[in-house]
Amino acid sequence: MTGQAPIARRDGTNRTARLRLRADKRLLVSGEDQLFTFAGTLQVYVTGNPSGAGGYLESPAVPAGEEWGMTNIVAEDETTDLTSVRVCRFSDGVQYCFACTTKAIPKTDRICWNGQEWATGGDTIRVTMIGSLAGDTCHVWITGYKMTKES
């Protein structure tokens, strides 16, 4: 079964979405904009030495065709006190910072960000730990939702 449905925009104009019902009774919607569908729980753990003094840990790249809806990011340096933790998304070579904590951060204290940030295929998440040393043991936990685009 296939049909068309007008969808009102905020500016008062309409756009059209195509509705399809699959054999398994799952509704698919495609059109000018895409809907996201839940694909699983996002659970990324990165541990190791930072990239250097005042360095960073970086997540693996978001797989092609997948979207990450990140809701929690936690960072910890278990070896050295920090002065700042900065969380950024790298997309097409551009850095988009969305969280920063600047204060005295004793070693083993976990810095937590809670919110909503989206990453798309190829993006990475970089957590920079100012005050860290090259040989420190650092940890980053990223949780949220894995989503796929319906077509």
**Best CA proximity match to 58, nearest among 35, 31, 11, 90:** 90
Give the model's confidence band at 90: pLDDT under 50 very low, under 70 low, under 90 confident, else very high.
Answer: very high
Give the model's confidence band at 33: pLDDT under 50 very low, under 70 low, under 90 confident, else very high.
Answer: low
Integer Cα distance of 64 and 126 in angstroms:
18
* Interval 113-131 mean pLDDT: 97
Integer Cα distance of 11 and 49 in angstroms:
50
Integer Cα distance of 133 and 7 in angstroms:
53
* Interval 130-135 mean pLDDT: 97
Give the model's confidence band at 39: pLDDT under 50 very low, under 70 low, under 90 confident, else very high.
Answer: confident
- In angstroms, the Cα distances linking 67 to 10, 72, 89, 140 are 25, 15, 13, 19
Give the model's confidence band at 10: pLDDT under 50 very low, under 70 low, under 90 confident, else very high.
Answer: low
Q: Are 105 and 111 in contact (CB under 8 A)?
A: yes
* pLDDT for 38: 83
Q: What is the pLDDT of residues 56-76, one digit of tens each?
A: 999 999 999 899 999 999 999
